[in-house]
């Protein structure tokens, strides 16, 4: 197990009942990295709060990207995407 902490500039999009709001936030990400980087996110900073991930609901890949649908300990649903080409994370808060 390898512990990784990365400071990145995230491009953040918040989805709220069909209304999109873009924000740029500097955050840090803590993730499990075995033989490759970003195998499993463990926590991230969102609006100046560290959110611990309670569960990972879905994991999938697209060309050059790793995507995770996660639920935080507060019960908030997010979609996290790590763009391997740009070495950049993005997050979408999913609300219903």
Range of the domain at 21: 2-94
pTM of the shown model? 0.72
E strands of the chain, at which residues? 2-16, 19-33, 40-46, 49-62, 65-72, 77-83, 88-94
**Along the 96 residues of the chain, how does pLDDT read in single tens digits?**
233 334 444 444 444 334 343 443 446 679 998 988 889 999 998 888 999 999 999 999 999 999 999 999 999 998 898 889 988 888 888 886
For tokens 């808060």, what's the residue?
93
Domain count for the chain, please give it: 1
Q: How many residues does the chain have?
A: 96
- What is the DSSP-derived secondary structure letter of residue 37? S
List C-alpha distances in Å: 48 to 15, 27, 28, 31, 44. 19, 8, 10, 18, 10
């Amino acid at each position: 197990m390898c512990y990784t902490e990365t400071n990145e500039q995230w491009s953040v999009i918040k989805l709220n009942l069909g209304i999109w709001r873009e924000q740029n936030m500097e955050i840090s990400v803590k993730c499990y990295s075995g033989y490759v980087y970003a195998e499993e996110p463990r926590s991230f900073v969102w609006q100046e709060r560290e959110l611990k991930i309670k569960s990972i609901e879905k994991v999938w890949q697209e060309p050059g990207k790793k995507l995770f649908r996660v639920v935080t300990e507060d019960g908030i649903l997010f979609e996290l995407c790590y763009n391997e080409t740009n070495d950049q994370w993005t997050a979408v808060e999913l609300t219903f």
